[in-house]
Each structure stands twice: as structure tokens, then as C-alpha cells.
Structure 1
Amino acid sequence: MADPRRLGAAFLAACAGHGRRRAVVAGGDALDYARFGALVRARARTLDALLGPDTADVGVHAANSADYLVSYYALLVAGRLPFLIDATFGAAELDGIRRGCGVPAFLHDADRPFPLGGTPRAVPGSALALTVLPGGRGDAPAPGPDTATCRFTSGTTGAPKCLEFTADAVTAAARTWAAGTGLGPADRVLCLAGFTNGLAFNTSLLPVFTVGAELHLYQGLPTSGGITRAVARAAATRLVAFPLAYRLLAAAPRPEAAAFATVTRAVSAAAVLDPEVRRTFEARYGVRIADYYGIAETGPCTYERDPERTEGLGTALPGVSVRTVDLPTGEREVRVRTDSMAAGYLNAPGALAERLDPDGYYRTGDLGRIEDGRLFVTGRLGGPINLAGRKIDPAEVERALLDLDGITDAAVFADTDDNGETVLHAALAGTGRLGRAEVVDACRARLAPFKVPGRVTFLPAIPRSAVGKARTTELRRLVRDARAADPTPHGLENPA
């Protein structure tokens, strides 16, 4: 049995075992497990008819919805290979996926034009449409024979890298999370992350259904009021969210602690949570936040089980080994080995293997230490910037900026805003033809929203070494001086 079908069979077995228990709630709609399984089987037959025998690889480029879940599992049941694609990716990223991974077909939200054009076909019984583009796979590498699901992370080349996961890896991640965090059938999980992100993929997409729990989908822009109402409607026992959500809730002018009375675990991931945000949230809502450390390539790694702990990222989950290794620089790098690791990058053959050390541990690029079995991450070796769980390659953003008329040099780096959150900062040199607003608008037209710089500073020149690398210390000093000298706003905070 092909790996997608094996993963689909595991899902259908869970549906059969949990019967009339409620599985998915989205807005006013709810599906029990029996109905969920029936819809998946029917959608699999529909997609089989639409795709025909020759189209196996299908991108899913849509916002979270019950329809998304039905379509994803239907592709698995039908033996197709789903590629989970960030809904904010635009034409450039999608075209890179089409060419680099050989994905010819895309399921997407029917109420919005598909960025690559083509002729969309309605999917009967669905709010999604199907667009099949001409050209087939071309000369793109073929997925491994055991690959069951693919999803993407931005790598150091700037193009989204396609991670291949086997059925064993996906089910191992689900088992690890359920066993390591005590997830059970009585849980009602409200997840604010997109299904393409590791936070949702590892904590919600399969684990919830494996144990017979309920998955509640958050829809709309995240606001403190919206999140509070969603928690109350779901009577959620678990809230899974990025640090931004907890900052919004901590800053709410009128916090409604009663809405959180059912919440036993609030899970935070993707970046270290600001200690003051943690203290304020926990004091206001009476809910402890448990930190979680996971990596796109390896799946879930650590989780904080002790509610009295307020520092660190917890201890290793079942089936996970975490260690730190001394580097020639005197720093210590965090390395992990898990049962849920990706098999490779489809569009960068051999690149993932290069990140493994001789013992099979993944070189995370994170700096840290382990104390009494608990992981503390203290920084990064370099490379992609982690912005609310999304990895952004500065080189990709710099290339887009250098395409703008009047920009002669650019350096993009991680900065912090007035709330202590990570923000993308672009330092630019050029002829002065463009203003900050024009730069941001031009980036919005070229890049996914989360890649648009939140701050822009103009300098006479970007300080560089003899080999052309930006001199970071001097660059940051020049940026500070420029911002201090010019009282006008330097860019737009959170432009997306």
C-alpha cells in the first residue's frame, strides 16, 4: 500500500473507532467522526474523477476550514500526494513549487483567483476549486516511494523547501504529541495556526483525531476579543497559538478570564515567549503557558510538562533525543533526533542529509544549553529569521528590494518592535527616489505578507566586509543613529 493510502487508512480507522463523537467544529458547522469519514470517502471519489489516473501530486493552497481537512484526508485516501502550501504564498512561491517540485494541480479557495492563473474547476460539494496547470512534472525530482505528505519551509536559498514525510513519520509525530502532552478524547483543542505550519501540523492535524478529541478552527483575524470568544464557544481545554496571540490577550483592555475557565493548557511555540507577556497572561486568565519546541524538519521535540516552570522550553518528548554540541566558536548548538523526521527536501536533494551529524542528529542552528534535562535556546547561528514561526531568508527579501528602481544596496535583519516582538528590518542605500511607504507597497506586490519588512531605514551606504558581507555590528549602529537623527517614522510596524 502506498504511504498516502496507509496514512489515509489510519485516519479512517480513527473515524470508525470514534463514531458519533464530535471531531471538527468550524464556525456554526460541526462534524462527528462518522460524518467526517463519510465526507472524506466521498471527496476521495470526487477527486479521483477530477484528477484522473495521471495526476498524483496536488498542492493544497487554502485557508483553514473543515473543507480543507476533508480534502486533505481525501487526497490521502485516494492515494494522491498532498503538498500543504501556506495560504499567503503568492505567484512567485507557487511557481517555484510548480517548477521545483513538479506539482501540476492545486486545490485552492474558490472565492479567490488562483495566483498562477489557469482554469479552475468546481469541486462538487466543496468550497475549494481545482486548477490543473499544463506541463506536468517536467524535470522536477520525483518524490520518494514512501512519501505520504509534503509541506514547506523556507531554506537558506530563499525558495520554499519541500519536506517529504513518510506515513511512519507523521503518525510518530502524532503519537509523540499525544503521549507526551496527555492529549485525550475529552480535549477540545482550539488551534490558531495554519495547518501548513508545524505548530498545527504536529499538535492538531492528526493527533486530535487519533485520540478522538475535538478540533476547533479559529477563523478571521486574531484579536484579543476574537480569541476570547472562540475559546468560550469551544469551551476549549487547550489553546495552541503563537506568542503574538498571548501578547494580544495580555494587552486586552478588558480581559474576560471567565472564558478561559475550561482551558487546562495553553501551548506556545515558534519563538521564546516574552517573560512579561507570560506573567501578565497567566495573572489575568489563570492559565499556565506551556512552551513547545519543534522544528519543521524534525517534528515536535520538547514540551514543558511542569506547570510551575516559567523558563526554558521543557523536556524531550517520547522518542526524541536532544543534545548540545560544542562548536569551534565556543558556542553550543542544539541538535535533535526524532522518530518523526522528514525523509528529505524534494526540491533540494541531499540538502537535508547534509544537516545531519554522524549520529543522525539534526543540526538545528539554534544555540542553547540543557539543564536538568530542560532545553534553553539562547540564540541562532545565523541563516533564516524566525518570524512568528515562519522562516524567512533575508537574501530573498534583499533580492526583491534590489529589484526596485533607485535601490542600490540592501541588508535585511531581525529587529524588535516596541512590544519586544521580532520584526523584519530593511536597511537600504540608493538614489532616494523611493520613500518608505513606496518600498513597503512594492514589497507587498512581490512577496508573501509575512516577508514584507516591518521597518525600513535609509543609509548613505551599507557597511560591508572585503568579501561583501554586511558588517552587522556597524550596520545596527548606523541604523540606530539614523533613527535617532530622523524623527519621522522609519517604516510601518506589522505592514501585513
Structure 2
Amino acid sequence: MKSPREIFESFEATAASRNRPVCLEEEGPALSCVDLLERIRRTGDRFKAAGVGPGDRILLKGLSGLPLLEGLLAVWACDAVALPADATLASAEIERIREDFLPRFTLGPGSQGTLPLERTRESAGSDPLPPGTSVIKLTSGSTGRARGIAVGAAHLEADGWRIIRGMGIGPDDVNIAAIPLAHSYGLGNLVMPLVLQGSPLRFVDAGLAEPLRHALSMKERCVFPGVPALFEMLARDSGAAFTPRGLKLCLSAGAPLRRGTAAAFKWRYGLPVRALYGASECGGITFDASPEGNAAELEDGCVGTALPGVELRLEGEEERVAVRSAAVAHGYLQQAGSTGDGEFAQGWFRTGDTGRLDSGGRLTLAGRIGSLVNVAGRKVNPREVEQVLMTLPGVGDAVVVGMPDAARGEVLVACLVVRSEVTREGVMAHLRRDLAGYKLPKRILFLGEIPRNQRGKIDRGEILRIVESADRPDLSR
């Protein structure tokens, strides 16, 4: 069983063979493999002197970009377990993570780029981790508290090589690092290609359109792992379009990629956005490796074929997506009050997604297990209604949710963002042509935008709050 230390040793081997710039920023000098390695060694030595030892859990909070990369690899150099948290989490959320996962140390941002280490507990967490656990990935639980996934060094390495080989990412290809390294997507597509083969990172603040456009215009061969919200911004932003010179691959993950977004980006820049489907529990699952790269433009939810080494099947009447590969994690940590839709069983991970496979092995996601709405005893998949809504001219975005109802148990509520005049009557007439009566929304709300989180995923909690308070005149018309 590989240890966390072996991830660091993989980077040591990479640095020995490739002393070239690997960390590029908008401002400041580039760091070579050797420069970065020396920084990591110094930081790791400081951690060991502070008492960090094998198996200790280290919470990384408030960190992003190069400091997070340095912190991650320094933790692994100590043979310790990284617990990376989203840099935007509030103090109360960090405290809940401390309560649930019992890290022995907390690593946070300091002045002038330092990484101060704070001892949080005198002893390690009470529940033992599976052998080889290198990172505890945090993912949303259905109760609202984060759920922890024990991921081993071998799992991270398997996922990294799968991404590299399945997408044809070379050692000299620069990854545009606009997504958070703390998330599973960033670990698999940014951190591990750097560790395993020295693929450089160009750090950029995704919240600033101009620096992102500038990075995407670089002449060196580069890859852009993004989220739908970034591609939507780049496709429809009123600012000047960038000129893709070295950009060879655009991929989108983290949230469903709409057909309209993929088509608008390709129309403006001449490059397809290739869909990538994955999960924190098992890394990359499918990818649109077709010559055209247009799966996302053909149908909402189409996410390509299985990546190398991934076995895919649909289970049960609901056709639940199940995955087996060398990257499937050890499993969930046992946490009181935390549940989710996924399940681990006999080397397989059963996702919370439903889907269908065509004759060529291409997967199209249909919805979520936990998202089915029970309307008077009849199950409705909100995604089916959303797909019909998106075919109505003038509709730019749509989300359908279920809300409690005294008479029917639950009813559907549609939230729409429109780009031209669309009426409730027109929406309902459009839906009646394609859907059974029990699948029609009871209410329709027109919003300025659909709330989304940093990864571009729909913030369903905020959607529900909006729906519950929709008697306010500024939320509907």
C-alpha cells in the first residue's frame, strides 16, 4: 500500500529529471521544479520539528494556489494526511470540520507567504484511517455537514495517470489553474499531473475575467480545466474575446455543462468544450474524447465515454451509475449525522447519479437518486423538466425543485433566467407539448440568475430559500 510520503517522493523524482518552470503566476518569478522542491522540503522540515508525524491529520484552511500546493506536498513529505478545505469557507464551517474530523494540526495563511502551523489537538483523531490514506476529501452530505472520503496515495496516482493518458496531457503542457486545488477536480487535473510528470501550472484568479483571458492567450501549449460558469462567462462576457494561440484542450467538470454554453463558447473561440464527469469518491469517470469534442453540444448531460481503466455499469430500475477502477477510494469516514447518496461496495462506487449508455458506450446523465420528486405518488425527475424548459427560446437557465405540498406531498417549482420576453403562459404551453400533466410545475419564478457555488454547481439550498420567500415582489413577475 502506497504511503503519503511516496507522493512526495514521486515529485522528487520528477524534479530530478525536469528542472524547468512549473509554477507560473501573473506577477512574480516562475518557480522551477527544483525551486519548488526546496521550498517544500524546508516547510516539511519545519512541520516535523513542530511534531507532525506519520498519520497525523492536517487541516489546510484559507489556502489556495501556490501556498496550498506547497502545504499539500509538505504534509505528504511528513507522511501525514492532508485535509484540504475550500479557501472560502467561513470560520463557523471550519470549526464544524475540526469537530467532525479532529485534525491534530491546522495550517493556514500567514504574512509574506508563510504557512503557520497551529496544534489543534494533542493526539490524533479517534477513528483510525485505512492504511495509505493520504487525503481526506470533503464533499457535501445530505444533512448539510461535510462528508469525509478517505483517499489513498495509490488512488490519487491512478486518477492522475488516467487524466494524463485519457486526455493526452503532456509534461510540457501548461495547466491553467483557475479551479481550486483543494477540490477533487483540482487534485486530479492540476496537482497530480505536476507531481507525476511536471506539467506546469499557470495560477490565475478565476474571479477576474481579464487575467483569465490573458492566461488563455498564452502561446505555450496549454490545457484549461474549467467549470461551466467560467465557460459561460467567457462565451457571453461583453469584454474582448481572447485569442487562443497555444490552447489545445478545454474541459468542463464540477457541474452539468449546458448545450447552450458549450455551443456559445465554440462559436466565439472555435474550440469545443469537452465534458468530464467525475466524483470525489473515485476521480475521473468519463470524458468526451471524440474527434469532434461536441458531446455536450448534442445533448444536456452527455459526458462522453469511460476513461482508461474505468469500468462502468448502470444498476437497478433507476439505472444508477456505478464505477469500478483503481482510483475508487477506501470509503467514507464514519461521521455521526452525515449521509449522502453514494455507496461503496466490493470495489465499486455507486454514485448518486442516474443515466443511460448508448451503443458506443457514451454516458448521458439523467438525474440524481436523491432528487426525484414525489408528486401525488408519481416520481418525477426534475432534470427531465429542466431539459424541456431549456428548449424554449428565450430561456437561458432553468432549475426545477420539489417543495412540500399538503395535497400532493410535493409539487414542482421551476426557476428560470430568461434573455427575452417569456411568459408563464408560454412556458406552460411549451411544457404541455412534451410532458405529462403530473410533471408540470405548480409555480414558475423568474430570477436574475441561478445561485451557484464556486465550482459552478447549483446552490440548491439558496434556491429553496428563494422559493420559500417568493412572495416578495422582486423575485417573481
The percentage of counterpart residues that share the same residue type is 23
Unaligned runs of 5+ in 1: 112-124, 387-393, 399-410, 421-443, 461-478, 492-496
1:407-426 matches, cutoff 5 A = 416-418=415-417
* CA distance in structure 2 between the aligned counterparts of 1:324 and 1:105, rounded to whole angstroms: 41
Specify the alignment match of 2:156 in structure 1.
170
TM-score by length of 2: 0.75
* CA distance in structure 2 between the aligned counterparts of 1:456 and 1:170, rounded to whole angstroms: 37
Specify the alignment match of 2:363 in structure 1.
375
Specify the alignment match of 1:245 in structure 2.
230
AA in 1 matched with 2:184:
G
Preserved contact between residue 10 and residue 195 of structure 2 (Cα < 8 Å): no
Question: Once the 2 structures are TM-superposed, how far is the Cα of residue 417 of structure 1 from its aligned partner?
Answer: 4.8
AA in 2 matched with 1:238:
V
* CA distance in structure 1 between the aligned counterparts of 2:412 and 2:191, rounded to whole angstroms: 32
* CA distance in structure 2 between the aligned counterparts of 1:234 and 1:199, rounded to whole angstroms: 25
Q: Secondary structure at the match of 1:51?
A: coil
Q: Residue 314 in 1 paired to residue 304 in 2?
A: yes
* CA distance in structure 2 between the aligned counterparts of 1:293 and 1:163, rounded to whole angstroms: 18
* CA distance in structure 2 between the aligned counterparts of 1:45 and 1:278, rounded to whole angstroms: 46
CA spacing shift, 1:242–1:413, aligned 2, 3 Å? farther
Question: Once the 2 structures are TM-superposed, how far is the Cα of residue 240 of structure 1 from its aligned partner?
Answer: 0.8
Specify the alignment match of 1:302 in structure 2.
286
Preserved contact between residue 140 and residue 340 of structure 2 (Cα < 8 Å): no
Once the two structures are superposed, residues 398-417 of structure 1 have per-residue CA deviations (whole angstroms, 9 ceiling, x without a partner) of 9xxxxxxxxxxxx9999655
Specify the alignment match of 2:462 in structure 1.
453
Question: Once the 2 structures are TM-superposed, how far is the Cα of residue 52 of structure 1 from its aligned partner?
Answer: 5.1
Q: Residue 226 in 1 paired to residue 211 in 2?
A: yes
AA in 2 matched with 1:201:
L
Question: Once the 2 structures are TM-superposed, how far is the Cα of residue 256 of structure 1 from its aligned partner?
Answer: 2.2
Unaligned runs of 5+ in 2: 296-301, 373-381, 384-400, 405-409, 420-452
1:358-437 matches, cutoff 5 A = 360-371=347-358, 372-382=360-370, 416-418=415-417
Once the two structures are superposed, residues 315-354 of structure 1 have per-residue CA deviations (whole angstroms, 9 ceiling, x without a partner) of 1111111111232xxx321111121111122243998998
CA spacing shift, 1:10–1:217, aligned 2, 3 Å? same
- Please say which of residues 239-248 and 278-287 is displaced more in the overlay: 278-287
Preserved contact between residue 342 and residue 351 of structure 2 (Cα < 8 Å): no
Question: Once the 2 structures are TM-superposed, how far is the Cα of residue 148 of structure 1 from its aligned partner?
Answer: 1.5
Once the two structures are superposed, residues 33-80 of structure 1 have per-residue CA deviations (whole angstroms, 9 ceiling, x without a partner) of 111111111111111123355992211113322122112101111222
TM-score by length of 1: 0.72
CA spacing shift, 1:37–1:450, aligned 2, 3 Å? farther
Once the two structures are superposed, residues 249-269 of structure 1 have per-residue CA deviations (whole angstroms, 9 ceiling, x without a partner) of 1112244242x1211110101
Specify the alignment match of 2:70 in structure 1.
70
Preserved contact between residue 204 and residue 215 of structure 1 (Cα < 8 Å): yes
CA spacing shift, 1:281–1:142, aligned 2, 3 Å? same
Q: Residue 151 in 1 paired to residue 137 in 2?
A: yes
Q: Residue 100 in 1 paired to residue 100 in 2?
A: yes
Q: Secondary structure at the match of 1:336?
A: strand
Q: Residue 345 in 1 paired to residue 332 in 2?
A: yes
Specify the alignment match of 2:24 in structure 1.
25
* CA distance in structure 2 between the aligned counterparts of 1:31 and 1:351, rounded to whole angstroms: 41
* CA distance in structure 2 between the aligned counterparts of 1:181 and 1:304, rounded to whole angstroms: 9
* CA distance in structure 2 between the aligned counterparts of 1:2 and 1:254, rounded to whole angstroms: 48
Q: Residue 325 in 1 paired to residue 311 in 2?
A: no
* CA distance in structure 2 between the aligned counterparts of 1:84 and 1:162, rounded to whole angstroms: 11
